[in-house]
Chain A
Amino acid sequence: MTDTLIAGLYREGEPIADTKAPAGDIAAKWSTRQFEAALVNPANRRKLSVIIVGTGLAGAAAAATMGEAGYRVKAFCYQDSPRRAHSIAAQGGINAAKNYKGDGDSVHRLFYDTVKGGDYRSRETNVYRLAEVSADIIDQCVAQGVPFAREYGGLLDNRSFGGVQVSRTFYARGQTGQQLLIGAYQALERQIGAGSVEMFARHEMMELIVVDDGSGPRARGIVARDLITGEIETHLADAVVLASGGYGNVFFLSTNAMGSNTTAIWRAHRKGAYFGNPCYTQIHPTCIPQSGDHQSKLTLMSESLRNDGRIWVPKNAADCDKDPREIPEEARDYYLERIYPGFGNLVPRDIASRQAKNMCDEGRGVGPEVDGSRRGVYLDFADAIGRLGEDAVRSKYGNLFDMYERITGENPYQVPMRIYPAVHYTMGGLWVDYDLQSTIPGLFVTGEANFSDHGANRLGASALMQGLADGYFVLPNTIRDYLSKGPFGPLGEDHPQVREAQDSVRSRIHRIMSMNGTRSVDSYHKALGKIMWEKCGMERTDEGLREAVEQIRALRADFWTNVRVLGTAEGLNQSLEKAGRVADFLELGELMCIDALHRRESCGGHFRAESQTEDGEALRHDDEFAYVAAWEWGGDGEAPVLHKEDLVYEFIELKQRSYK
């Protein structure tokens, strides 16, 4: 570890490596790993227990599959039912290398597109496996009764999505996430009914229990709060899986569900799990623009709309307040079609987002002014309606159009929609190896909660794929190798390390409840979100990030002296729930800024103003930054420690991404 602080903010530790992916050809790695991973015989599985936190696509799929296999599973979610997990809100679709359209798709092409779409900051081995199991996901979901869109012959339909030129996306109108989640939820409920999974809804994980019984530290359980009774519960097991989703709500305004939070992974980070690429945030280009200060969240419009909608702004800023229907064709700038003729409106998310921001920064944004500027561009369906007819457009995107009208009060069949980028998905998360195991033995992390397979940016329709791949196919095969060494011995609730975890939860809750300051939790969350969006959002600078670190530290200090939570810790207290989550966001936000500061390159959705090409495109520096930044918790008030995992590209050549 470096003795002195780098940039005054962090230290550098030993490099790390993923040692689980077998050597050899990329196409054989996963089958080799599955063969090499030890088996657990069915009679022994009953003796092994697993805790799964989060029941979205990754968690519900994993819990159902582990339950089917015969392990004893306890699953937890903060919502009132596992069917509410935020995976449900995904609209567009799920990718799979089925080549049902015969348009040249293959596992290798999906792999290639995903690595390229991640701006060469994802791990080759993981991404290849994701592409490999993608086809099985569709088979599994269809067998469960997921009602994917079909053609008249009864076969499945596909469409294309941003960043790719083949039609490999399976979809269920604009509700693909809901249908996939309901499939996983039903599989989970089946196991709950069968008694192999015990479900704890309205429970929140507050702390990870790590126990060292002489053979090194292992994750052995969690401390959870029953959100209805307020009771602090201890749950012990042989392994813990975190499938608790992403942390985009650090920005306050995002497309995430209101309850989405970072607590599960942040508590694990503080207990020794490294945090990979925290600053990697995906900005989604097609969200409904903010309309004012009252707003609690942003709503995404599926990216599939870009298949038929054309994006434009007026050529002249003077036209921006005109009715768009009165702006003639020659006065419109279809800027994506102009700058990127090969991909047009289907360029990847980061490019579509940044160009929308550029247009608005130039003063050519449309819609109402918020904080002094217009932040919106048109997504126009007039051509598609002319070409296909309103009925065809309605059958493809009807529910999205209805949702848009409900939120904005405007009819998008008549007036072009307005869209603007928003925080949507986080590609950082806990660092995991090929087995999805974190740096704490026995702690596995799946779906959006891990640092993921997506690199610096994410192509559309790949998050649903990762959640289900991890949950149904990857984790159940890799965790058995770990479990084959168990059970890890009996453990009582009075073990000193279990006690310590319980006590820390109780004292933290007591501290929050007894502060009795003046400010509400939401006011801190909004203030943090503003700092994060302005200084660690779509565009970052060295100076801005340093300011952000200072501002977050001051805000956090204020929180711990001046927050006020009313009510009691016994029983349902939604302000207390939020306070714990915001406290963790206030620590994570600082790490995100430090990570963004140290990565002096632009890649994916992360535009460092100091690193751009002559024509303003993102400029990567592969010689310096082709690594995963895995951060170790340094201790309260101490600097974090950076461990680098070099990204080795054996099968794909690193290229500057160009969609022109």
Chain B
Amino acid sequence: MRISLKIWRQANPRDKGRMVDYKLDEVSEDSSFLEMLDLLNEHLHEQGEEPVAFDSDCREGICGQCGVVINGEAHGPERTTTCQLHMRSFRDGDEIIIEPWRADAFPVIKDLCVDRGALDRIVAAGGYISANTGSAPDAHATPVPKENADRAFMAAECIGCGACVAACPNASGMLFMGAKITHLGELPQGQPERDARVLKMTEQHDLEGFGGCTNLGECTRACPKGIPLNVISQMNRDLLRTGFSV
């Protein structure tokens, strides 16, 4: 395949950044999107130009480290992570525009790499069950109805890639947060801290500069793991339950 690329290049967080054009021949349609970028980088290296910085690690669609906006869509045209997108999703001669995740809460570090530390800080604020090591009761002591366990699992599939934020016109992190709140809230173990969790996490979310949810649904459309919008409703119900006032 022959493709044309327009890629966001930004030397460092203070640099203004710009789109740069590249051309690539002989791209295998069996290669992944990131392997196509590897190929580009080998060519850039030969020409003495600094390779494009982008994040990836497991390249199996589970670690959540990769993620770029491709032709305006987070992770590109398929419902998957960037590393699991393959070039067979494009056509010979296509032009592909590649940009980093854009959100105030995700500052650009370089080229296509952004800082998603805000997501960790939301979890640190309360996205856990407090269980010190070594004092847990037998795992069978608390049965969990299968439907709750399944729903918890569905929400726990979130890989924290941040596509929901990148896709949202408000750059809201609520799908990410709702997934965690739903995961833990569906389990009996998660009940004691349920109110405190939703309050502390939403407070941190707003402090980090994420926007609010206006139910557009772009987040769930972009989510590579198919986290449904109703995790946000559950989060809102939990928030109301606490009696918090806006």
Contact = CB atoms under 8 A, between A and B. Distances in A.
Interface string B156-194: 110110000000000000000000000110010110000
Contacts of A179: 153, 156
B76 interface: no
A154 B153 contact: no
Taking each of A81, A148, A152, A172, which has the highest tally of chain B beta carbons within 10 Å of its own beta carbon?
A: A81
Contacts of A341: none
A145 B189 contact: yes
Contacts of A79: 57, 63, 65
A79 B62 CA distance: 14
Interface residues of A, number: 81
Interface string A457-478: 0000000000000001100100
B59 A147 contact: no
Contacts of A572: 12, 53, 109-110, 113
B241 interface: no
A549 to B, nearest CB: 28
A481 interface: no
Contacts of B39: 294
A144 B117 contact: no
Given A89-B62, A140-B131, A178-B159, A84 B31 contact: no
A98 B156 CA distance: 25
Interface string A334-362: 00000000000000000000000000000
B183 A296 contact: no
Contact of A403 (B61, B78, B137): B61
B92 interface: no
Nearest to A98: B139
A495 interface: no
Nearest to A133: B134
Nearest to B160: A83
A86 B84 contact: no
A179 B63 CA distance: 11
B208 to A, nearest CB: 14
Contacts of B126: 193
A94 to B, nearest CB: 12
A115 B50 CA distance: 49
Contact of A81 (B38, B45, B84, B160): B160
Contacts of A82: 120
Given A65-B133, A228-B109, A567-B50, A297 B59 contact: yes
Contact of A80 (B51, B110, B116): B116
Contact of A294 (B28, B78, B184): B28
Contacts of A81: 65, 116-117, 119-120, 160
B223 interface: no
Interface in A110-164: 136, 138-145, 147-156
A566 B45 contact: yes
A406 B189 contact: no
Q: Which one of A147, A173, A522 has the greatest number of beta carbons of chain B within 10 Å?
A: A147
Contact of A472 (B133, B142, B160): B133
A316 B187 CA distance: 54
Contacts of A484: none
Interface string A158-193: 000000000000001101011100100111011011
A258 B56 contact: yes
Interface string B112-140: 01011101100111111111111011111
Nearest to A571: B12
B49 A68 contact: no
Contacts of A154: 143-146, 149
Interface string B85-120: 010100000000000000000000110010111011
A567 B57 CA distance: 21
A144 B60 contact: no
Given A149-B153, A522-B38, 20 more contacts: A84-B63, A84-B65, A86-B58, A148-B149, A172-B153, A185-B123, A189-B123, A190-B130, A192-B124, A255-B60, A257-B63, A291-B28, A292-B28, A294-B31, A294-B38, A295-B35, A403-B61, A472-B133, A522-B42, A566-B51
Interface of B: 11-12, 27-28, 30-32, 34-35, 38-39, 42, 45-46, 48-51, 53, 55-65, 78, 80, 84, 86, 88, 109-110, 113, 115-117, 119-120, 123-134, 136-140, 142-146, 149, 152-153, 156-157, 159-160, 183-184, 187, 189-190
Interface of A: 61, 64-65, 68, 79-86, 88-89, 98, 100, 136, 138-145, 147-156, 172-173, 175, 177-179, 182, 185-187, 189-190, 192-193, 199, 201, 228, 255, 257-259, 291-292, 294-297, 299-300, 403, 406-407, 409, 472-473, 476, 520, 522-523, 564, 566-567, 571-572, 574-575
Q: Which 7 A-B pairs have the closest CB atoms?
A: A154-B143, A193-B124, A186-B128, A143-B136, A139-B136, A143-B131, A294-B31
